[in-house]
């Protein structure tokens, strides 16, 4: 079963629709976003030069730095009077990437999520427990509105409250749970401590996203919760969750390419790679009014498969994300860059420009420990400095480390040869 007939459209039909929507997206970007008008004119391009979908490769790339440089709203294509919602994701210098939606944008997003839910085997009779965070993060509200679009029942419990999550799964007989993969395993452990075997509950599906999930981790989720686990993908700059999802074949994530046009390029050269070859995923919005985005370099490494899936969908499938083209850290669904942490920490005169980040996995949840060196000769209150840093990290990045340790001057090892190492990932050990 499909939610929209376009999911099984022929490649020719898709290309015609993609061309029409790309032409409108480029026109909107050129006429309404000075950043894009300048970029296109520098390349000698006008909207009329885009005659078919393949011409997308003529267009300039957009990067996270472009969002930073145009903070907060210079990437918007509409006046704030036409914006009905704002979300945000982390930027690379402590500034969030601000994203906006018109009502039409929200309708497109809701439809994309509804397609995802149907591809995962859900329908209007199901109950979906949404354990993604609500607020500026796109996960909670994005998935929520898609469940409502489908006509299913949503339980907007949000993140955390793990014992209550277990109780809701049992008492309300939820059919599906949406959360990060690490949280799914943590929830299973909490349930066991409560004397509840989730495998005995009606729960049959976990939709996980916001952080990478390996096949062994998926298998553990499915075994410990007695469910089918499917991966959902998205990013705020494009729309949020719902760009793609695995169907029940679990053989790649269907990209709703009539709305989000995918390419894979060489991370170093930016040139397109051969079909099936791994590279960096690049996405262009084809139906975004408030924030049209041309050729956004996601930093995610994947491949594309254009073969028709056994489920009958012709929408291209991307492989599960294998890694990052940059140094993004994803901890419990929160995206943060070491450079972001550094920019916040070094605002304080009390600390030296030396720190380290230790990533660990505790009870199937990722943890981040931050160690910061104090300035030489510091003789103040370490508790006061710790509180200031934690508050600033929370306010700027919506993030706090699981542990923050302050050490005296010289307490962090120096690197004499080669690049300094700031991040130590112990999760695979």
pLDDT in tens, 34-88: 999 999 999 999 999 999 999 999 999 999 999 989 999 999 999 999 999 999 9
Rounded Cα gap, residues 364 and 158, in angstroms: 19
* CA-based radius of gyration for the chain: 22
**According to the model, what pLDDT value does residue 220 have?**
83
CA 100/CA 78 separation, integer angstroms: 9
Residue 29 domain flag: yes
Mean pLDDT estimate for the chain: 92
Residue 176 placed within a domain: yes
Q: Do 107 and 191 lie in a common domain?
A: yes
| Region of poorest pLDDT, from 163-177, 240-254, 270-284, 385-399 | 385-399
Let me know whether 334 and 281 are in one domain.
no
pLDDT tens per residue, range 5-49:
999 999 999 999 999 999 999 999 999 999 999 999 999 999 999
Establish if 428 belongs to a structural domain. no
pLDDT at residue 326 is higher than 70: no
The average pLDDT across 136-146 equals 95
Q: Give dist(CA 244, CA 238) in Å, integer.
A: 12
- d(CA 154, CA 371) in angstroms, rounded, equals 40
**CB neighbours (10 Å) of residue 392?**
16
Instruction: Answer yes or no: do 59 and 200 share one domain.
Output: yes
Among 276, 299, 325, identify where a domain stops.
Answer: 325
Domain finish residue from 269, 294, 325:
325
Q: What is the dihedral of CA 142, 161, 321, 231, to 10 degrees?
A: -70
Contact yes or no for 105/289 (Cβ under 8 A): yes
Pair (333, 261) in one structural domain: no
**Distance of alpha carbon 320 from alpha carbon 244, whole angstroms:** 10
Judgement on whether residues 204 and 72 belong to the same structural domain of the protein: yes
- Say yes or no to pLDDT of 330 above 70: yes
Assign residue 315 the CATH number of its domain. 3.40.50.12780
Give how many domains the chain has, as a whole number: 2
- 73 and 174 in a single domain? The answer is yes
For the residues 288-315, what does the mean pLDDT come to?
96
Q: Last residue of some domain: 292, 325, 358?
A: 325
pTM for this predicted structure: 0.80
For residue 172, what are the domain limits? Answer: 1-325
CATH number at residue 371: 3.30.300.30
> How large a percentage of the chain has pLDDT more than 70?
95
Pair 152, 233 in one domain: yes
Q: What pLDDT is attached to residue 417?
A: 36
Mean pLDDT of the 189-212 span: 93
Residues 260 and 363 in one domain: no
pLDDT at 418 over 70: no
What residues are paired with 356 via a beta bridge? 371
**For position 103, what pLDDT does the model report?**
98
Tokens 């994300």 correspond to what residue? 321
Both tokens of residue 187? Answer: 């929830």
- State the pLDDT confidence band at 93, using cuts at 50, 70 and 90: very low
Structural domain includes residue 209? yes
User: Does some domain include residue 280?
Assistant: yes
305 and 396 belong to one structural domain: no
Residues 6+ apart with CB under 8 A from 158: 130, 131, 132, 133, 134, 140
Tell me, yes or no, whether 252 and 348 share the same domain.
no
Of 186-190, 233-237, 393-397, 417-421, the one with minimum mean pLDDT is: 417-421
Residue pair 214/222 in contact by the 8 Å Cβ criterion: no
Does residue 37 lie in a domain region? yes
Between 261 and 212, residue with greater pLDDT: 261
- In degrees, rounded to 5, the angle at the alpha carbon of residue 141 between the alpha carbons of residues 138 and 143 is 90
- Of 261, 153, 140, 259, residue with least CA distance to 210: 140
Per the domain annotation, does 429 fall within a domain? no
Euclidean distance between CA atoms 341 and 351, whole angstroms: 13
Q: Is residue 130 part of a domain?
A: yes
Same domain, 97 and 199: yes
Token representation of residue 234: 């998205």
Pair (300, 386) in one structural domain: no
Using a pLDDT cut of 90, give the percent of the chain over it: 72
Question: CA distances (Å), 104 to each of 14, 58, 86, 136, 260, in order?
Answer: 21, 27, 14, 19, 15
């Amino acid at each position: 079963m499909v939610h929209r007939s376009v999911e099984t459209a022929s490649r020719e039909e898709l290309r015609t629709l993609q061309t029409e929507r790309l032409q409108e997206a480029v026109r909107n970007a050129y006429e309404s976003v000075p950043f894009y008008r300048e970029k296109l004119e520098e390349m000698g391009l006008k909207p009329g030069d885009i005659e078919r979908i393949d011409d997308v490769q003529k267009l300039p790339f957009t990067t996270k730095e472009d969002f930073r440089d145009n903070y907060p709203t210079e990437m918007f294509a509409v006046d704030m009077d036409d914006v009905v919602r704002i979300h945000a994701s982390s930027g690379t210098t402590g500034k969030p990437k601000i994203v906006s939606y018109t009502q039409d944008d929200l309708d497109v997003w809701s439809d994309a999520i509804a397609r995802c839910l149907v591809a995962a085997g859900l329908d209007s009779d199901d109950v979906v427990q949404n354990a993604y965070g609500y607020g500026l993060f796109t996960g909670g509200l994005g998935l929520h509105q898609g469940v409502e679009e489908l006509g299913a029942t949503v339980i907007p419990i949000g993140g955390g409250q793990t014992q209550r999550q277990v109780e809701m799964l049992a008492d309300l007989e939820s059919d599906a749970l949406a959360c990060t993969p690490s949280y799914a395993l943590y929830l299973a452990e909490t349930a066991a401590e409560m004397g509840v075997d989730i495998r005995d509950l009606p729960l049959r599906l976990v939709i996980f996203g916001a952080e990478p999930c390996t096949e062994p981790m998926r298998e553990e989720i499915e075994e410990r919760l007695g469910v089918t686990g499917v991966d959902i993908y998205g990013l705020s700059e494009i729309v949020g969750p719902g760009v793609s999802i695995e169907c029940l074949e679990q053989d790649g994530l269907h990209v709703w390419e009539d709305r989000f046009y995918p390419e894979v390029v060489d991370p170093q050269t930016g040139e397109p790679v051969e079909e099936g070859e791994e590279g960096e995923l690049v996405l262009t919005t084809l139906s975004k009014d408030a924030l049209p985005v041309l050729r956004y370099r996601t930093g995610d490494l994947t491949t594309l498969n254009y073969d028709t899936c056994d489920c009958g969908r012709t929408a291209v499938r991307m492989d599960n994300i294998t890694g990052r083209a940059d140094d993004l850290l994803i901890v419990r669904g929160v995206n943060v860059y070491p450079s972001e942490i550094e920019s916040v920490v070094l605002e304080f005169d009390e600390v030296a420009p030396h720190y380290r980040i230790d990533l660990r996995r505790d009870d199937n949840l990722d943890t981040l420990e931050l160690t910061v060196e104090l300035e030489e000769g510091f003789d103040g209150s370490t508790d006061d400095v710790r509180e200031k840093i934690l508050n600033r990290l929370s306010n700027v990045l919506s993030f706090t480390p699981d542990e923050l340790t302050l050490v005296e001057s010289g307490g962090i090892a120096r690197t004499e040869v080669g690049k300094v190492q700031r991040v130590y990932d112990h999760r695979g050990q």
